[in-house]
Amino acid sequence: MNTFASLGLAPALVSAVNALGYEEPTPIQKEAIPVLLSGRDLVGQAGTGTGKTAAFALPMLERLMKSGAKAKGPITPNLKSPAKRFPAVLGMVLVPTRELAMQVAEAVQKYSKGTNLTVVPLYGGAPMDQQIRGLMRGASVVVATPGRALDHMRRQTLDLTELQVLVLDEADEMLDMGFAEDLEAILSETPATRQTALFAATMAPRIASIANKHLKQPERITIAREKRAPGKVARVRQVAYIVSKHQKMEAFGRILEFENPKSAIVFCRTRIEVDELNDTLKAHGYGAQALHGGMEQKQRDRVMNMFRTGKADMLVATDVAARGLDIEHVSHVFNYDVPNAPEVYVHRIGRTGRMGREGIAISIVDPRERRLLRSIENLTKQAIEVAPLPTVSDLRAKRLEATRTALTDRIAAGDLDGVKVFVKSLSQDFDVADIAAAAIAMLHEASHGDGTEPEAEIPAPSAAPAYAPRPARNAGAGRERFDERARERPRGRPREHSPKRPAAAPAGDIDMSRITVLRIGVGKKAAVRPGDLVGAITGEAGIQSKYLGAIKIAHEHSLVEVPQQMAEHIMESLRKTTIRGKAVDVRIEPGNE
């Protein structure tokens, strides 16, 4: 059985990973968790994105739970070293960088949700006193950069005398960054009885020598690179867009509009993400269907059938659910999240570019995950083009190109005599070019809403991309806009003009980089769908739905991302209306203003 429970983890930890939407353990997790649970040391060769954080964190938490560790609550005197005021730390993860420390600490925090264990990150460049307060309150686990860990040890604010589990994460990077001596100094302050796990992307001799010196007969695990037939991904053009988290949905909408995929699979990491993205895509009028391991087989078969027969043109799926699917004619593979492991990426994009057709694989990459691209390129030996997001003028050009093609086809099809008579009669009063221009404008209005162009450019993420952006190449033809017109009507059908004029939206430039999350007091219990929320906001507040970000529907409430500038106006408008027949309570979700 491929489940976290079958690996022997406690129910609290299994529920934590289930709540994160992990469907099954990744290869490194399958191999490493049982070894670490058995108490053995481990050397793992695995890169970023393989799921190695959970591979070491879950067994660490399990062990600390079993040892009866209680870190929360008042400070308990440290009996072994009564002179010290600081409770001893039981688990420590050493990582090379501050960013990784934050990331790993956040992950460990999530995995430890159902336990009473606490996690404190310790990294340089952050105020010392805050970290000291965290240590004083009692940390079961610290996630630290070597320099800062030593700093705390010297101040006697970090007590490692009772350490049970030590993890050296990205050990090769730590050595590259000159931390060898620091590591030795830290290790010498920890008890010999500790369990140690070391992870590195490569097994250079100096890593082996650290392992030989400090680990006790470690089990060795290598996450094997998958063997591919040469050239398997050759016909797939690979593009990545670097996009910050809060702009992901909007950016994805723009990419979809630009690419106009005929049939696409959109991959997400977890089933929760699949459901959320699928809801949002549907609300935007796309023929999307979700596919994940939480669905019954019958439901999955139905979805697959819809996709195969073209009734759905987009499949939003987890890797596990999409495994083994044999689908031809996928024009686009989208990685809404960069996959966990380079091997998974190769699997995913192997779904397009089949049967000698050209395919395109598009990845949306968080600025913090750019390193993943490099490991994918190392594996595939192919470059991934990092492109800037399509701009407003790219979209405009795309639409005009689509219009030109449609007109050319229509002229070639002939049978226009009846209409020509009408044009001739109009030409007595108007210039023929004006008549044609008006007709095209009307065509655009019918297929793209009001005929206006998308206004806001999506700003580039603040961190500069590690790869130099190159201009995007065009592909595909224009489709409906990712805005309220697409959301409110079935795709492909012209919009009927609404007689109702909604309240005026705030004027001026909208800063899409500042997002507020609104909490609206209706949810699944009231059978609310994303379309209801979008409809209420666009209708009542007069705001185009392209300004709305992710929508999340919980049991009794829903969360909607809106630009900060529009939040007040939307709240006021919604308070005057009903959704699904209910007056709604609208407020800013705490912590998201």
Residue 453 is given by DSSP the state P
Nearer Cβ to ligand AMP, position 111 or 252?
111
CA distances from 446 to 449, 451, 501 (A): 6, 8, 18
Burial (0-12, 13-18, 19+ Cβ within 10 Å), 383:
exposed
Q: Among the candidate windows 51-59, 190-198, 297-305, 429-437, which touches ligand AMP by CB under 6 A?
A: 51-59
Residue from 9, 14, 25, 58 in contact with ligand AMP (CB under 6 A): 25
User: What is the token pair recorded at 255?
Assistant: 């990419």
Q: Among the candidate windows 43-51, 71-79, 160-168, 231-239, which touches ligand AMP by CB under 6 A?
A: 43-51
Q: How many angstroms separate the CA atoms of 141 and 94, rounded?
A: 11
52 binds ligand AMP (CB under 6 A): yes
269 binds ligand AMP (CB under 6 A): yes
Q: How many angstroms separate the CA atoms of 354 and 366, rounded?
A: 28
Q: Residue 413 corresponds to which amino acid?
A: A
87 binds ligand AMP (CB under 6 A): no
- Residue 153 contacts by C-beta under 8 Å, 6 or more apart in sequence? 160, 186, 189
50 binds ligand AMP (CB under 6 A): yes
Q: Among the candidate windows 44-52, 178-186, 352-360, 574-582, which touches ligand AMP by CB under 6 A?
A: 44-52
Q: What share of the chain is helix, strand, coil (3-state, %, to 5)?
A: 40, 15, 45
48 binds ligand AMP (CB under 6 A): yes
Nearer Cβ to ligand AMP, position 170 or 257?
170
* Strand blocks (E) in 269-335: 288-291, 314-318, 332-335
190 binds ligand AMP (CB under 6 A): no
26 binds ligand AMP (CB under 6 A): yes
CA distances from 200 to 39, 101, 206, 210, 394 (A): 20, 16, 11, 12, 42
Q: How far is the CB of 317 from ligand AMP (least distance, A)?
A: 13
Nearer Cβ to ligand AMP, position 7 or 303?
7
Q: How far is the CB of 171 from ligand AMP (least distance, A)?
A: 15
Q: Among the candidate windows 20-28, 79-87, 214-222, 408-416, which touches ligand AMP by CB under 6 A?
A: 20-28
270 binds ligand AMP (CB under 6 A): yes
For ligand AMP (CB under 6 A), the number of binding residues is 15
Q: How many angstroms separate the CA atoms of 249 and 247, rounded?
A: 6
112 binds ligand AMP (CB under 6 A): no
201 binds ligand AMP (CB under 6 A): no
Does residue 148 sit in helix, strand or coil?
A: helix
Whose CA is closest to 564, among 523, 526, 521, 508? 508
- Cα angle 538-543-545, degrees, rounded to a multiple of 5: 65
Nearer Cβ to ligand AMP, position 29 or 573?
29
Nearer Cβ to ligand AMP, position 89 or 108?
108
375 binds ligand AMP (CB under 6 A): no
320-339 residues in contact with ligand AMP (CB under 6 A) are none
Q: How far is the CB of 96 from ligand AMP (least distance, A)?
A: 14
364 binds ligand AMP (CB under 6 A): no
CA distances from 468 to 5, 300, 370, 394 (A): 44, 41, 12, 19
Q: How many angstroms separate the CA atoms of 476 and 262, rounded?
A: 9
22 binds ligand AMP (CB under 6 A): yes
Residue from 131, 164, 247, 340 in contact with ligand AMP (CB under 6 A): 340
Q: How many angstroms separate the CA atoms of 233 and 352, rounded?
A: 9
216-255 residues in contact with ligand AMP (CB under 6 A) are none
Say if residues 394 and 476 touch (Cβ distance below 8 Å).
no
Q: How far is the CB of 53 from ligand AMP (least distance, A)?
A: 3
54 binds ligand AMP (CB under 6 A): yes
Nearer Cβ to ligand AMP, position 64 or 321?
321
Burial (0-12, 13-18, 19+ Cβ within 10 Å), 561:
buried
Q: How far is the CB of 190 from ligand AMP (least distance, A)?
A: 23
53 binds ligand AMP (CB under 6 A): yes
348 binds ligand AMP (CB under 6 A): no
Name the residues that contact ligand AMP, by CB under 6 A. 22-23, 25-26, 29, 48-54, 269-270, 340
